[in-house]
Amino acid sequence: MELIRDLPEVFEEFAEQRKNSFLGVKKLKEQGVPIVGAYCTYFPQEIAMAMGAATVGLCSTSDETIPDAERDLPKNLCPLIKSSYGFAKTEKCPFFYFSDVVVGETTCDGKKKMYEYMSRFKDVFIMELPNTQRPEALQLWKGEIIRFKEYLEEKFDVTITEEDIREAIRVNNAGRRSLKQLYEVMLNDPVPITGHDLFKVLYGSTFKFDRKAIPEEVDALVEKIKKEYAEGKMLEKKPRILITGCPVGGATEKVIDAVENNGGVVVTFENCSGAKSIDKLVDEEEPDVYEALARRYLNIGCSVMTPNPNRLELLGRLIDEYKVDGVVEMTLQACHTYNVESFDIRRFVNEEKGIPYINVETDYSQADIGQLNTRIAAFIEML
């Protein structure tokens, strides 16, 4: 990525990365590269990468195929689940279509049953994710990672060595470090870029098949942002907002727009597509490579965990470091774990951190954009 290119052009390139990768995944398939699809941040990418597979996040953030999904699934189910299943069933997601195997995880009851139905028309490997982070849970999750490795070895007739896994860990850690440096540009006040432009890169980078290329591209972008900031190019000072809650992307980017079109700026995302998936690295010095992977992935602070201290730790740290003025939590309709946990998040943000909090519940339709704008505008005005 050349430094001379304009930032808006670079941000749009990342925003278009998902669409551009539709052709890329077909090309990889034609070259005989195995494709492993997944939906969740708990998916241990490094195991698939270690055998030379391309890993990709599957389509799950649009209401386009929800009517198709509702022929099999209840209407009052989480839109993320219905969207995932709809794209799979209709074969409208090229990533799903070309995937040799889809890796599922037992994060919530709705997804477990969805994977059960999905397995009738696609190879699905289910990883049994413990919903607690006790020491015995770590051993269970480590066993699941080893079981996944053995499944891939048998299915694709390959041998995955520990050195292959270590190399994949080094590659992914390098990408995480670079992306973390990127979102840390928002520590500045005023900020150098919008939260939406930051999100375009964070989300778009998940569709880069060549993981080794991520650090160079992102580091060049960070250098460009810092250079322009030093020259005085920055946004005006605005209330600084943290977005937490369910995965953001696609249809739910309307929440980012509601913040930034009504006087605020999103300085950090605690969601899966933000800090939650990048904050922790895999320990490269740990002698037991499976233990290292298990510990890193199990420590993700998703609302499926009970209790869930890691989410509060990350949330509190981001609020302090990014000098956050207010927290917006986005929960999807019928996402029971995040909806229930919002009680604890509100208490933590209001009482322990002493700043305002608002929860907005939404789905993948555009019908509530007016209401979102009204509520979030009033929240930001209060700040």
Kindly tell me if the per-residue pLDDT of 3 is higher than 50. no
Task: Please state, for a pLDDT cut of 70, what percent of the chain lies above it.
Answer: 99
Are residues 123 and 199 located together in one domain of the fold? no
Domain boundary pick from 102, 124, 158: 158
Helix axes 214-230, 162-183, angle to 10 degrees: 20
Q: In this structure, is residue 56 part of a structural domain?
A: yes
Average pLDDT (222-241) is 97
Identify which of 46, 297, 15, 249 has the alpha carbon closest to the alpha carbon of residue 149: 46
Average pLDDT, the chain: 96
Average pLDDT (148-176) is 98
Q: Report pLDDT digits (tens) over 331-370.
A: 999 999 999 999 999 999 999 999 999 999 999 999 999 9
CB 306 within 8 A of CB 131: yes
Q: What is the CATH number of the domain that holds 372?
A: 3.40.50.11900
Domain boundary pick from 124, 158, 192: 158
Contacts of 50 (CB under 8 A, 6+ apart): 149, 160, 161, 164, 165, 167, 168
Average pLDDT (53-70) is 96
Worst-scoring range by mean pLDDT, 19-23, 155-159, 332-336?
19-23
Q: In this structure, is residue 189 part of a structural domain?
A: yes
Task: Please state, for a pLDDT cut of 90, what percent of the chain lies above it.
Answer: 98
Average pLDDT (32-57) is 97
Q: Provide the pLDDT for residue 2.
A: 47
Are residues 96 and 182 located together in one domain of the fold? no
Q: What is the CATH number of the domain that holds 101?
A: 3.40.50.11890
Domain of residue 148, residue span: 14-158
Distance, C-alpha 161 to centroid of its chain: 28
Identify which of 227, 269, 278, 251 has the alpha carbon closest to the alpha carbon of residue 364: 251
Are residues 58 and 206 located together in one domain of the fold? no
Per-residue tokens: 100: 């040799």
Domain boundary pick from 99, 128, 158: 158
Distance, C-alpha 192 to centroid of its chain: 23
CB 341 within 8 A of CB 246: no
CA distance 86 to 63: 9
Kindly tell me if the per-residue pLDDT of 1 is higher than 70. no
Helix axes 7-15, 195-205, angle to 10 degrees: 50
Contacts of 243 (CB under 8 A, 6+ apart): 195, 255, 256, 259, 266, 268, 269, 270, 271, 274, 327, 328, 329, 330
With cut-offs at 50, 70 and 90, classify the pLDDT of residue 4: low
With cut-offs at 50, 70 and 90, classify the pLDDT of residue 5: confident
Structural domains in the chain (count) = 2
Average pLDDT (285-294) is 98
Are residues 38 and 148 located together in one domain of the fold? yes
Kindly tell me if the per-residue pLDDT of 248 is higher than 90. yes
With cut-offs at 50, 70 and 90, classify the pLDDT of residue 149: very high
CA distance 293 to 24: 28
Average pLDDT (177-186) is 98
CA distance 102 to 124: 5
Q: In this structure, is residue 358 part of a structural domain?
A: yes
Kindly tell me if the per-residue pLDDT of 328 is higher than 80. yes
